[in-house]
Amino acid sequence: MSRIKEIVRLTAQIKTQSVSMQRRLLLYWFSMLLAIGAVLVLILSVAGVFSNESEKAHDSLQLQLNNAKLEISQHMESLEAYGIALSEQISREIDTTLTANGLTVDDLNDNPELLLTLQKNLLPRLHTALQLSQCSGAYLVLNATTNTQSDKASHSATGLYLRYANQQTTGAAKQDVTFFRGIPEVGRAERLELHNRWNLEFDTDLFPGYYAWMQTEVGRLADACCWTERFRLTDTWEDVRLLCVPIKDNTGKVCGLCGLELSSLYCYLSYPEMDSSFGPMITVLAPLRNGSLYLSKGMTGSADSTFLAEAETLSVRQERYFNVYSNGSDSYIGLDCEVGIRGADGNDLTLAVMIPESTFDASRTSGRVLLICCSLALAALTLCLSVFLSKRFVQPILQTIQAIRSEKVSDGAETGISELDELMALVCSKTNEKLLQNDHALPPNIEELFQTFAERAKTLSSAERAILQYYIDGHEITEIPELAFISIHTVKKHNSNIYQKLGISSRDELMLYIDIFRRLGRLNELTEPVRE
Amino acid sequence: MREIVARQLKDVSTRDAFCFSVRCAECGGVWMSRIAAFSKAGTTPASEGKRIVFGALYQKERERARNAAIRQAMESFNCCPICGRLVCNRCFLICEDLDMCVRCAVRLNEHGAPVLPPLAEAVK
């Protein structure tokens, strides 16, 4: 308690201490500079100079793009590897089966028994490939048909197509597999459920360049494999992209295609949108041609928080920090890059990471509003401080002027400003002097006494007045001979004359008169020479 | 004043006593300081060393006596502000405007009373 009392006492003492005007002025100007700085910050904030949201958004997008590129590249590379491995296995199986029967690939046409045998042998390999790879389906097509006499024989081919019934991105081993294309006995033998849109054979028109492919020889399978554009799977509601890997016969000619399927739903589940401080980030894998991103021919990750439609075509406009993708009504900001996945047309696919521009703008606006509010508060605070300090600075001056005007200047008055205190003290002393001069209303008899003394002083000779001046100046009698180059006797002689003329009897009496005349400010009456 | 008097001071000391004189520039009267005896007056130094000691002592006491003589002379002499001469109190007049020596007072036709009356009047 005693310490608190001590602190309170010290605080009160500090408050009563005088501070120089210069220091107060410095403080005031410092606060003014702060206020100017705050207003400047406010203006610049409104102008958006301090906003680096675009740069931050670019960094976020770039990071997500790098991650997505790595993930997708790995995914696609693994699918292509499984596809090539599948193709090689199928080639060996076909070769083994046909060689055992002394047949060629062309002999598969119109040979249901052989096709049945071949599909029974190939199904386990296809099933294994489906289960091992991260995809939604696996297929193989052989350039042969069960019935060449059929109307659709020209664009119909035998093959197997297995698909997952329920799409999941994890736990593929436990997923149900449906038999989408192939001879039904093969599916039944493996206890696979027929797809509700099952068909015996493939429509080869779905595969781009299928017929050209069947007439050519391919070298390395890795160079030949490619992805189809997105297309609607016949009789279903699903869009897919298919990895196409040629199947070579024992002569090296292409006798069919095999590969893996990526459905739009699988991509949707595999690449969920990522939350960021600027809004949801969407991953898109689509061809980019002539400044347009064709979503209808690519795959899109989940985009639940946006209005992005999978069938859209987005025009791309490059800006300083990112690209703007627009479909006319909605815009997205984002970055893109090529991921080295070859499409059927020979062009690489483009990976893009996008954020809705509306959420980005909202984020940017909220950041700027926060900055503006902060700088506004700072400006208001510093301006208030400036006003307060200016008032504190001016108030004592006004009070002093008022006090001087009203002549209520007291000796002990303290304004808190040292210069003003000095001014007050000066005015006070001057006022007192003035009062003393004005109010030197000595009693009449005393005044008469001093008047007589002053009159008598006028009778002093110049030499005597010179000696008197030494006394007035405060010199002792013993000092005067040294100062005036005369003997002490001469001084004493003058003294006796001075005493006689002034009507006094001692030096003490003389010094008393001198003191009183000094206090009254009338010393000049004693020292002024007589004007004749 | 002290320097003025010191310059005019004449040493008239003997081996046994110290005395200094100042001559009035106006009347020619000689003022003599009070005689101060040497503390070793009449004592013959027993050795050469003592003689040196006595010699140093003599100089020291002489300086002390000289200072005392200056103080005494300052009580009896005035410096005339007109001619600058050092004159005695009897030759220095207290005038109306400026004190001065008798000769200057006559020359400037000033009147005044001497600090001390002439010696003849004083005797009367």
* Residues A121-146: tens digit of each pLDDT: 899 999 899 888 888 899 999 888 88
Banded model confidence at residue B67, pLDDT cuts 50, 70, 90: very high
User: Is any Cβ of chain A less than 8 angstroms from the Cβ of B116?
Assistant: yes
Q: Are strands A177-181 and A193-199 parallel, antiparallel or unpaired?
A: parallel
Q: Select the residue of B2, B97, B99 nearest A486 (Cβ to Cβ).
A: B99
Is A482 close to B99, i.e. CB distance below 8 A? Answer: no
| Residue bearing tokens 């109306």 | B96
> What does the mean pLDDT of chain B come to?
89
Tokens at residue A505, please?
A: 């009897």
Which residue has better confidence, A442 or B106? Answer: B106
- What pLDDT shows up at residue A2? 66
Give the count of alpha carbons within 13 A of A110, CB side only. 4
Instruction: Give the mean model confidence (pLDDT) for residues A140-154.
Output: 86
Closest alpha carbon to A204 in A260, A293, A143: A143
Is B78 close to A493, i.e. CB distance below 8 A? Answer: no
Which residues of chain B are within 8 Å of residue A486 when distances are taken between CB atoms?
1, 78-79, 92, 99
User: Is any Cβ of chain A less than 8 angstroms from the Cβ of B41?
Assistant: no
User: Is any Cβ of chain B less than 8 angstroms from the Cβ of A487?
Assistant: yes
- What pLDDT shows up at residue A203? 86
- What pLDDT shows up at residue A531? 52
Which residues of chain A are within 8 Å of residue B77 when distances are taken between CB atoms?
487
Q: Which fold has domain A444-527?
A: Rossmann fold (3.40.50)
Instruction: Give the mean model confidence (pLDDT) for residues A87-98.
Output: 89
Q: Chain B interface, mutation test: which of A487, A488, A500, most B Cβ atoms within 10 Å?
A: A487
CA distance from start to end of chain B: 32
Closest alpha carbon to A306 in A340, A288, A329, A336: A329
- What pLDDT shows up at residue B56? 93
User: Is any Cβ of chain B less than 8 angstroms from the Cβ of A489?
Assistant: yes
Which residues of chain A are within 8 Å of residue B115 when distances are taken between CB atoms?
487, 489-490, 493
Helix axes A444-457, A488-502, angle to 10 degrees: 140
- What pLDDT shows up at residue A112? 87
Which residue has better confidence, A249 or A414? Answer: A249
Q: Select the residue of A461, A462, A489 nearest B115 (Cβ to Cβ).
A: A489
Q: Spell B101-116 as b/e; 16+ CB within 10 A means b.
A: bbbbbeeeebebebbb
* Residues A507-524: tens digit of each pLDDT: 888 888 888 888 887 887
Which residue has better confidence, B77 or A341? Answer: B77
Which residue has better confidence, A359 or A20? Answer: A359
Res A532 pLDDT > 50: no
User: Is any Cβ of chain B less than 8 angstroms from the Cβ of A485?
Assistant: yes
- CA-nearest residue of chain B to A459? B96
Which residue has better confidence, A52 or B38? Answer: B38
Res A451 pLDDT > 70: yes
CA distance from start to end of chain A: 80
Lowest mean pLDDT among A142-156, A173-187, A300-314: A300-314
How far does the CA of residue B81 sit from the closest CA of chain A (Å)? 8
User: Is any Cβ of chain B less than 8 angstroms from the Cβ of A482?
Assistant: yes
* Residues A207-252: tens digit of each pLDDT: 777 887 787 777 788 888 888 888 888 878 888 888 989 998 877 7
- CA-nearest residue of chain A to B114? A490
Q: In chain B, what are the domain boundaries? A: 2-77, 78-123
How far does the CA of residue A465 sit from the closest CA of chain B (Å)? 9
Query: Above pLDDT 90, what percent of chain A?
Result: 8
Judge contact between A196 and A176, C-beta under 8 A: no
- What pLDDT shows up at residue A139? 93
Banded model confidence at residue A530, pLDDT cuts 50, 70, 90: low
> What does the mean pLDDT of chain A come to?
83
d(CA A361, CA B112): 113
Q: Select the residue of B74, B76, B94 nearest A493 (Cβ to Cβ).
A: B94
State the amino acid at position A161 in one-letter form. Answer: Y
Out of 3.30.450.20, 2.30.110.10, 1.10.600.10, 3.10.110.10, which CATH number does the structure's domain A79-268 have?
3.30.450.20
Which residue has better confidence, A368 or B105? Answer: B105
Is B92 close to A487, i.e. CB distance below 8 A? Answer: yes
DSSP, collapsed to helix, strand or coil, labels residue A441 as: coil
The DSSP symbol for B35 reads: P
Instruction: Give the mean model confidence (pLDDT) for residues A483-493.
Output: 89
Q: In chain A, what are the domain boundaries? A: 19-51+364-404, 79-268, 271-359, 407-438, 444-527
